[in-house]
Amino acid sequence: EVQLVESGGGLVQPGGSLRLSCGASGFIFSYYSMNWVRQAPGKGLEWISSINSKSSAIYYADSVRGRLTISRDNAQNSHFLQMHNLRDEDTAVYYCARPSLTFGGVSPFDSWGPGTLVTVSS
């Protein structure tokens, strides 16, 4: 069974930093690109970043580029989101999501973690 579990969320002050982790099991992690999607309270879904299986292709949404860094460790079956200079508007549930196809196949996200809440507030 595919499982994704996010961790690392919490309360952080504006301007602060936080590192989220997503642990994966039940599939060959190194075969898949991975993504982060966030959802502000009462709002819709926002894709924010993706990383391919070899970390050679990384993409960010314009709203977070320059403040967030995605990375992965295939040996640990995990990927990460380092967030810097956090703003109030970064408050959201952060989901990790896996596409349905391996390697370079273009596909939507068929597996999601339960999410971790990041609250940016003084």
Partner 1 sequence: EIVLTQSPGTLSLSPGETATLSCRASQSVGSNYLAWYQQKPGQAPRLLISIASTRATGIPDRFSGSGSGTDFTLTINRLEPEDFAMYYCQQYSSSGSTFGQGTKLEIK
**Where does this chain bind partner 1 (CB under 8 A)?**
35, 37, 44-47, 50, 57, 59-62, 95, 99-100, 104, 106-110, 112-115
Nearer to partner 1, 42 or 122 (CB): 42
Nearer to partner 1, 92 or 99 (CB): 99
Least distance from C-beta 99 to partner 1, angstroms? 8
Residue 20: in which H helix or E strand, if any?
strand 18-25
Least distance from C-beta 65 to partner 1, angstroms? 11
Alpha carbon 105 to chain centroid distance?
A: 19
Nearer to partner 1, 66 or 104 (CB): 104
Nearer to partner 1, 17 or 57 (CB): 57
Strand order in the sheet with 18-25: 3-7, 18-25, 78-83, 68-73
* Tally of helices (H runs) and strands (E runs) in the chain: 0, 11
Least distance from C-beta 109 to partner 1, angstroms? 6
DSSP string for 93-106: EEEEEEESS-TT--
Q: How far apart, in whole angstroms, are the C-alpha atoms of residue 62 and residue 46?
A: 11
Least distance from C-beta 9 to partner 1, angstroms? 14
